[in-house]
Amino acid sequence: MSASAAQAPVLQYDTQGLDKETLLRLHRNLVLPRLIEEKMLILLRQGKVSKWFSGIGQEAISVGTVCALEQESLLFPLHRNLGLFTGRGMDLARLFAQLQGKKSGFSKGRERSFHFGALEYGIVGMISHLGPQLALACGAALASVLDGKPEPAVAFTGDGGTSEGDFHEALNVASVWSLPVIFIIENNGYGLSTPVNEQYRCATLADRAVGYGMEAEILDGNNILDVYRRIRYWNEEMRSNPRPVLLEMRTFRMRGHEEASGVKYVPTELFDEWAPKDPVVNFENFLLAEGILTEQAVAAVRAACKEEIEAAIAVAFPEAEPEYDLAEELADLYAPSPASVTEGVAPAADAPVQELRLVDAIQDGLRESMRRHPGLVLMGQDIAGYGGVFKVTEGFVDEFGTGRVRNTPLCESAIVGTALGLSIKGRKAMMEMQFADFVTVGFNQIVNNLAKLHWRWGANADVVVRMPTGAGVGAGPFHSQSNEAWFFHTPGLKVVYPSNPYDAKGLLMASFDDPNPVVFFEHKALYRSVSGQVPQGYYTVPLGKAATARPGTDAVVITYGAAVHWALEAAEKLSQEGTGEVEVLDLRTLLPWDQEAVAAAVQRCNKVLVLHEDTLTGGIGAEIAAWISEHCFAHLDAPVLREGAYDTPVPFAPSLEKAYLSKGRVEGRMRELLGW
């Protein structure tokens, strides 16, 4: 077929301002992912690929976007954005190894398909939940603004994903903070099998931008030149005038959500309508008709792409299945921590010492960390001028400014995600949950994004989440919960819970030195009721190390947080009356917890009570008690006892709350233990 005989394109292309080199680059970048898709569908039918999320018919969105951006702009893709990966020049052998779950892929076989990131290519991996990556783009964009070099971050979502709360939270944060984020909705008509008329009622998804004071555009997502031109415009515009934009790109998914789901739920007439709008065929026919391409050139491009694909498959597919290596899995769970985190740093010998309450020590540690880490950004509700509801950050704006001490909208999920985005761009970030109870609305970001990121594909999640927690202040069931056990069960997190001012400051500074995600619990009832001697200046208390709060020989209470003080009070009473000498071991870090210190305490004392404020069933004490029974049984002279709160929500009335908590039962349980 000659160029003059090429089929006329259905789509209308405007090449004004685009040179031939750009047009040919766009063409090749369109062809490569299409040919990869066609090859993968063959391999899928042959049983050589386990699953495939096809982007056939949608390639112009990814390719037009990636070709219009600078290489350093971060991309936050979804399932159907193969063109982003190939457009960034990703090594195909390694990409195919990733898709096969092989060791040489980007996640060592730990992730499937496109659930991975590769920062060397500027790509941040998604998780299966469709909304969280949008807030990460906010964090990346914020980092560029704080650095004085605004740079757009590009986040993709589907039409179905716009129903997620994370979508709305991310748009609101980006708009309120004027962040250079390009939010792209790939509106292909279906969220798996759910059509758009069952997803939203607004006339267009672009209309949703109005509620956030944000500009929006509707684009033909199959027209690569329209996509390229508008992304290029926003790429340049945001660098001089940072602000977000919402781009609804209309397209159609020519295959199923994934191949196994099929397309029986899609009316045939939709395929008839969209098939002539194929973005690859149309653009190629246009270039042929315009004489920019020849048949020979098309054949050469396709042959070169196929050769590249086959060569990569020849490398990736014969690779053996990965073998499970427990030591490697555990080693990759956390990023390497500096000695200040693992061993601790003593205060300067001449450091002045002052009497501080727990809340003051936390404030002091936070201020020292802000000075030590110039890239550290603090975020939370009311933490700027107001200083937070507990006044921990009071006065911080005066020293560090509103860029680094930021009031946030009430959107916990988006702010945790923004913190992670800051980390991906090399900054440290802290988010203050106003109350630990409110973490439920940011839970997904913590347990699925923060916790798994480094293990998945090697990026650091350098984030501290501060959690004012605990009962005893008459705050009722939604401001008094002890929820540390939720995070204790999540590999990849570190969970810290100090009981005294010295440890609180040192543990907090160690948490900020650590490149790993830390959930840092601060007991509200201890804020202003407990004080102690705290050195000025920098020092750290090592994470993962317990401390003996009181020596003893007859029994040991293993505990943390406010319960340390309950145990100390009861132990002192029993000592004074001559009943026995009870040791109190303060865990300080709950994940990873100090098994060596626990084993040594059991060997010294032979009788054990595990105590916590949290409800008894499913609490951290259950794990520790089980571990002691399994690993230290020969040293026990009595059953391992546990004590915790009753298995109900936290009541409001002081009399009810007092009875609910285990404080009043600690002494009795100690006597029971000593009586064995």
Residues tagged active-site: 479
Conformational region of residue 388, where left means phi above 0, alpha means psi within -120 to 50, and beta covers everything else:
left
Residue 648: DSSP 8-state? S
Task: Copy the structure tokens of residue 168.
Answer: 């709305």
Collapsed DSSP state (helix, strand, coil) of residue 665: helix
Amino acid in the structure at residue 416: V
Q: Go through the chain and tell me how many residues it has.
A: 676
Closest to 556 in 3D by CA, of 449, 640, 438: 640
Tell me 181's DSSP state: E
Q: Which three-class secondary structure string do you get for 466-490?
A: EEEECCCCCCCCCCCCCCHHHHHCC
Cα 505 to Cα 540: distance, rounded to the nearest angstrom: 8
Please give the angle made by the CA atoms of 641, 645 and 651, to the nearest 5 degrees. Answer: 170
610 bridge partner residues: 558, 642
Q: Which residues pair with 521 in a beta bridge?
A: 467
Q: What is the DSSP string of 384-406?
A: STT--TT-TTTTHHHHHHHHHEE
Task: Report whether 673 contacts 609 (CB < 8 A).
Answer: yes
Q: List Cβ neighbours of 95 (8 Å cut-off, separation of 6 or more).
A: 85, 86, 105, 106, 312
Question: CB-based contacts of 329: which residues, under 8 Å, 6+ apart?
Answer: 455
| Element at 612 (helix H, strand E) | strand 608-615
Whether cis (ω within 30° of 0) applies to the bond prior to 592 is yes
Q: How far is CA 668 from CA 510, 574, 663, in A?
A: 36, 10, 10
Tokens of 305: 């792409």
Distance between CA atoms of residues 95 and 117, nearest Å: 11
Q: Give me 344's structure tokens.
A: 């601790």
**Per-residue CA distances from 566 to 294, 587, 662 (Å):** 83, 14, 9
DSSP three-state, residue 591: strand
319 CB-near residues (< 8 Å, 6+ apart)? 97, 100, 102, 103, 104
Report the Cα 233 to chain-centroid distance in Å: 30
Asked if 221 and 247 touch (Cβ cutoff 8 Å), the reply is no
CA distance 251 to 319: 36
The SS3 of residue 77 is coil
Q: In what order do the strands lie in the sheet with 153-158?
A: 75-76, 153-158, 181-187, 245-250, 215-220
Q: What angle do CA 62, 64, 66 make, to 5 degrees?
A: 65
| Tokens at 169, concatenated | 């939270």
Beta strands (DSSP E) in 244-364 are 245-250, 353-357
349 burial level (CB within 10 Å; 0-12, 13-18, 19+) = exposed
Closest CA to 199 of 254, 130, 125: 130
The 3-state DSSP class for residue 164 equals coil
